[in-house]
Amino acid sequence: MSTDVLDLGGRIALVTGAGQGVGRQIALHLAHHGSGGVAVNDFVLERAERVVEEIHEAGGKAFAVQADVSDHESVKDMVAKTQAALGPIGVLVNNAGNMGANPNPDIRKPFWETGPEVWNTAIGVNFYGVLNCVSAVVPGLIARDAPGRIITIISDAGRYGDSGLEIYGGAKAGAAGFMRGVARTLGRYQVTANNIAIATTETPATADRLRSDPARFKKMMASYIVRRPGQPTDVANMALFLASDASSWITGQTYPVNGGFTLAL
């Protein structure tokens, strides 16, 4: 008998945007705590394959699958391939985000100087990506007739607001609201749905930018109660908790994992 309260009991997991950074660590955490297999999604297949190799080397089971989460047909194909390779999905982690696989170079301009062709870069991955993945996975979650978990990584930009990130923050807030509705709808099927809101997180892709200006970095960290940037493990720890039976009576919630940058009531 496992003594690991966070053991996933063999649930199959699908983690989007998991070829690097936070998504990679979430995939590793789930694989190390009793997942029956982890589908590692990324827009760039080679990144996903490298994470799968890490999981295999540690003795876990994993499958790399390429998809653009902002494309509904691509997502349906991803889910079908995952189920064929690993079995019915019991955990979905919507991690894919930022500004999309191919960010529009004008995304940092004031939003009123641009239009939908720019806005959709952020909305496509951060809002429609969540809708696409949840809609594709839900029929299987219901058919399993067993506890299931949906977890979406949002941002404090969607809770607190962030100047210059209005479209991104709006998309994240929309995803959070969508998840609350999903929680109410799917509770009768033993499926929980929760959000994790993150703030400045240091990954291999962002470390150089964060640390290149020590004075600016110190000023940024002054806004945090715990004066360091988040690490992928901080987010992965919460994702693992929400994927496990330790969180079985928790749904429709948003958990800030942000070093106290904002406080939840």
Active site residues: 168
SS in 3 state form for the chain?
Answer: CCCCCCCCCCCEEEECCCCCHHHHHHHHHHHHCCCCEEEEEECCHHHHHHHHHHHHHCCCCEEEEECCCCCHHHHHHHHHHHHHHHCCEEEEEECCCCCCCCCCCCCCCCHHHCCHHHHHHHHHHHHHHHHHHHHHHHHHHHHHCCCEEEEEEEEHHHCCCCCCCHHHHHHHHHHHHHHHHHHHHHHHHCEEEEEEEECCECCCCCHHHHHCCHHHHHHHHCCCCCCCCECHHHHHHHHHHHHCHHHCCCCCCEEEECCCCCCCC
